[in-house]
Amino acid sequence: MGASAVAAGTFDEAGLAEWGVRFARSLARPAVVGLSGELGAGKTTLVRAIAVGLGVRQSVTSPTFALVHRYDGAGCTVYHVDGYRLRRPGEAADLGFDDMMRERDAVVLVEWPERFGAELPPLTHHVVLSYVADAVLRRLEMA
Ligand SMILES: Nc1ncnc2c1ncn2[C@@H]1O[C@H](COP(=O)(O)OP(=O)(O)OP(=O)(O)O)[C@@H](O)[C@H]1O
Ligand SMILES: [Mg+2]
């Protein structure tokens, strides 16, 4: 697969979903993917698409109290972590990042990665979503 399959661009919701599926299929594991962007930028939308691309059949819902949800993909385990409710990085100390990283076939998808501070394992990929003038489009870049 060429690098252009997961290149930056400006996408509508369907386009972003297609990007997520392509990206998922390009991922070497274990992977830790940070997803940054303002509220409503499309992080969870992209997580759902990546999960689909990884063969997750369950519906992906945003973690709230647990901060992390685990899904079975096709030959991999998908973790969806959301730091939005984290008040300080130390609250993530018991989240289990170390255990996730010990799984060879883990794909860890982290919304609001900047909130985890030093608790966050090194990112293998960092996706940044932002608003553009057109309300149905989002800019996607790799940081
Ligand atoms: N091009 C687009 N890509 C993604 N979402 C879009 C797009 N255009 C409109 N939307 C809408 O924007 C919203 C994105 O919500 P989503 O929950 O994915 O954002 P989020 O970044 O996870 O927000 P939060 O910070 O609250 O977790 C959805 O309601 C979606 O329908
Ligand atoms: Mg979200």
Inter-CA distances, 23 with 17, 52, 95, Å: 10, 11, 25
Mean pLDDT, to the nearest integer, of 32-61? 97
Which residues have their alpha-adjacent CB atom under 5 A from ion ligand 2?
43-44, 111
Distance between CA atoms of residues 69 and 67, nearest Å: 7
How close is the Cα of 79 to the center of ligand 2, in Å?
Answer: 14
User: Given a cut of 80, is residue 141 above it in pLDDT?
Assistant: yes
Q: Is the peptide bond before 30 cis (omega within 30 degrees of 0)?
A: yes
Place 3 in a pLDDT band, splitting at 50, 70 and 90. Answer: low
Burial environment of residue 130 by CB neighbours within 10 A (0 to 12, 13 to 18, 19 or more): middle
Query: Count of H helices and E strands in the chain?
Result: 3, 7
Strands 125-131 and 106-111: unpaired
User: How far is C-alpha 129 from the chain's CA centre?
Assistant: 11
Give the largest Cα separation in the chain, rounded.
42
User: Given a cut of 70, is residue 91 above it in pLDDT?
Assistant: yes
Cβ 34 vs Cβ 124: under 8 Å = no
Structure tokens at 134: 């057109």
Place 5 in a pLDDT band, splitting at 50, 70 and 90. Answer: low
pLDDT value of position 107: 98
For the chain, which domains are there? 3-142 (3.40.50.300)
How close is the Cα of 102 to the center of ligand 1, in Å?
Answer: 31
Q: Does residue 63 line the site of ligand 1, with CB under 6 A?
A: no
Write the residue with the smallest CA distance to atom 25 of ligand 1: 39
